[in-house]
Structure 1
Amino acid sequence: MFADGKHRFAVFYAWTFAIPFILSLLFTYYPDPFFPLHGGPFEFVPLLQETMQNSGVTLRGGALVPLLTAVSAEPVLVIAAMGSVIPALVALGLVGYYGGGAAVLQFLGQLRPWIGTSAADGLRSWGLLCLSVIALQLCVFAFQYALTGVAGWKVSLNPHLLTGAAIWLLLEAMFLNQGGLLEELGFRGYALPCLQAAMSPIRAAIVLGVCWAVWHVSRDVLFQTPMSVGWGMYLLAYMPLFTIWCVGGSILMAYFVNRTGGSALAAIAVHGFLNDGALVSGVVEGGDPGLQMAARSLIVGIAGLFVFLLAGRQLGLAPDRKVIAERAPA
């Protein structure tokens, strides 16, 4: 079905990149068409900051419920907050275009926790997934704590993880995270099988990780990140560090997607936990945000390298499955 996986990926990525990038440019430089939604003129970043401050809601690593709670009074901000859903919408559109309604239903079947494997194998894979992502964030916590003297920040455990709220926070981090829940049906549900049909799983994960990092440029333009840190710093430091994080995370997600027979839900869980809405990696106060990003990127990059060394080029893709894409709709 993915006889030309590279072509299918190119079409997917072109739409997935172009739509949010155009919207970001409109919000940033020509927001006039959106003025009626707000009830008058606005500037996106100041409006977002004011809304967040007035809401009293604390955002936690892209946790979707707090985010939507904070921006619910501003329709313009809700639209921007839900921009991460574009990869999933593009994927659904392409699946429907190439295969019709039946293919869409089959594609949505990738939201099952495991596919074509026994419940015992599926549960083992999910157990390993949960232990791995928690261990990864605890490594981030330990690394950041060790850097306290150098970084000048204070790192402490999230006290809510020692209460009855811990289970909810962990489940929320895995399944109700903005990035994981909204993006992964597109990126790891559709794009990964396309690439794995055309190249080895490790190469597919790396290519997708780099493309995934570049896809976030539209978000950075919207939030004026290049302008605030300077384009030189953005291109020479911020993007390379973020790309390491994305490539490492992409390898982790590809491994668990393959282990579960093509489950996009596994990617949603890994991505969500990498964003760490539960703050398992600790509460960091003070210090340089750039150094914090570097610490997190280094740990996630090392985790991706470790998975590659452990699982090999196939990244958990069983030989009898050939490629996930052979069972997935186009």
Structure 2
Amino acid sequence: MRGSIRRHPLTWFFALAYGLSWVAWTPYILSHNGIGAWDFTFPGGAVGSQLLGVLPGAYLGPITAALLVTGVLEGRAGLRTWRTRMTKFKVGWRWYLVVVLAVPVALMLGSAALSGRAPELPSAAILVAYLPALLMQMLTTGLAEEPGWREFAMPRMQNRYGALTATAVVGVLWGIWHLPLFLTEWGGGPDVALIEPVEFIATTIAFSAVMTWVFNKSGESMPLVMLLHCGVNNYISTAWSDMFPDLGRSDASHTFLLVSAVAALILLIATRGRLGQPRPALAD
């Protein structure tokens, strides 16, 4: 097995990320929070089911798979490199400012364009809760997913196939990883329309282009990449419905796809498809 992991690290990573998460999500999918085959409901409402039903599988998937494969493939040196990227907070303060502000502004403008009206001012409670909720997202969604997709898979695929191909492949596989959750209340339940997971995968592909550019241009700063990912989740879950009360769940998905596609197109044109990937050094 060790030899196989060393020969095919990416295959093992994706297989473990899928297998560990999907097995851990099975009780959630079978419960009344999903298809209802198991006579059990996860307690705590939407927040409780997220923490008890979704999060365990998320933590057992990408981050665990990345650590396991890195340990076998590169030993302690690889784990030190992993830790260096994960703790690379020292990037220019402008990066943090741009990411923290650009995400809600872009999603707000996208929602306004789709709805045809200006957003309502968020309540004081939303403004107070926004940053603490963002930090919580960093410790849950960001920490569970991005150490696998962007820290482990992206650099290896990018070095082998280039930024554009790596972005597309990681974007597709990242989206497919979520598919079992569409059978639960997380994704709309067992009666969810086929267009929703298809739209979601299109979004993960487009948004991956933005994340690849941030990863490369920030010197592979994982905290910044996680902040970008979690900024979207946090705005939609915390502020979006307060600012656009007439829009529904599907409108949030349409907005995210629109904003991601526009941003990806701009970056692809501006970087000529390189998405910030450093050019190889010329030999002497």
- Same fold at TM > 0.5: yes
Contact 1:180 1:270 in 2 (8 A): no
Aligned-partner Cα distance in 1 for 2:232–2:281: 28
Once the two structures are superposed, what CA deviation does each residue of 1:176-221 show, in whole Å capped at 9, x if it has no partner? Answer: 4x32231101110101012102112122112111111111012223
Aligned-partner Cα distance in 2 for 1:161–1:317: 41
Counterpart of 2:107, as a letter, is Q
Aligned-partner Cα distance in 2 for 1:281–1:162: 10
Aligned-partner Cα distance in 1 for 2:100–2:281: 24
Q: Name the CA shift for 1:179/1:143 in 2 (closer, same or farther; >3 Å).
A: farther
Q: Quote the residue 2:77 is aligned against.
A: 102
Q: Quote the residue 1:219 is aligned against.
A: 181
Q: RMSD across aligned C-alpha pairs, in angstroms?
A: 3.3
Q: Quote the residue 1:81 is aligned against.
A: 55
- Matches for 1:1-330 after TM superposition, within 5 Å: 7-29=8-30, 43-44=39-40, 47-48=41-42, 51-52=44-45, 67=47, 70=48, 78=52, 80-85=54-59, 86-113=61-88, 122-146=92-116, 156-160=120-124, 167-169=131-133, 171-172=135-136, 175-176=138-139, 178-223=140-185, 225=188, 227-229=190-192, 233-234=193-194, 237-277=195-235, 279-281=238-240, 283=242, 284-319=244-279
Contact 1:189 1:263 in 2 (8 A): no
Q: 1:239: Cα distance to partner?
A: 1.9
Q: Name the CA shift for 1:90/1:162 in 2 (closer, same or farther; >3 Å).
A: closer
Contact 2:167 2:212 in 1 (8 A): yes
Q: Name the CA shift for 1:244/1:160 in 2 (closer, same or farther; >3 Å).
A: farther
Aligned-partner Cα distance in 2 for 1:287–1:166: 20
Q: 1:172: Cα distance to partner?
A: 4.9
Aligned-partner Cα distance in 2 for 1:81–1:272: 14
Q: Which moved more, 1:184-193 or 1:20-29?
A: 20-29
Count of residue correspondences = 269
Q: Quote the residue 1:38 is aligned against.
A: none
Q: Name the CA shift for 1:12/1:201 in 2 (closer, same or farther; >3 Å).
A: same
Q: Name the CA shift for 1:209/1:42 in 2 (closer, same or farther; >3 Å).
A: same
Contact 1:84 1:182 in 2 (8 A): yes
Aligned-partner Cα distance in 1 for 2:156–2:273: 17
Percent identity of paired positions between Structure 1 and Structure 2 = 19
Counterpart of 1:160, as a letter, is A
TM-score, normalized by length of structure 1? 0.69
Contact 1:88 1:186 in 2 (8 A): yes
Once the two structures are superposed, what CA deviation does each residue of 1:80-124 show, in whole Å capped at 9, x if it has no partner? Answer: 42321220111001111112233212211111336xxxx6x6334
Q: 1:256: Cα distance to partner?
A: 0.7
Once the two structures are superposed, what CA deviation does each residue of 1:6-45 show, in whole Å capped at 9, x if it has no partner? Answer: 942222111111222233345445x7xxxxxxxxx9645x
**Deviating 4+ runs (over 6 angstroms):** none
Higher relative contact order (CA 8 A, sep 6+): 1
Aligned-partner Cα distance in 2 for 1:282–1:142: 12
Contact 1:253 1:266 in 2 (8 A): no
Q: Name the CA shift for 1:270/1:321 in 2 (closer, same or farther; >3 Å).
A: farther
Counterpart of 1:90, as a letter, is A
Aligned-partner Cα distance in 2 for 1:188–1:297: 20
Secondary structure at 2:263 match in 1: helix
Once the two structures are superposed, what CA deviation does each residue of 1:222-249 show, in whole Å capped at 9, x if it has no partner? Answer: 54746222xxx32xx1122111221122
Q: Name the CA shift for 1:146/1:161 in 2 (closer, same or farther; >3 Å).
A: farther
- Structure 2 residues without counterparts, runs of 5 or longer: 32-36
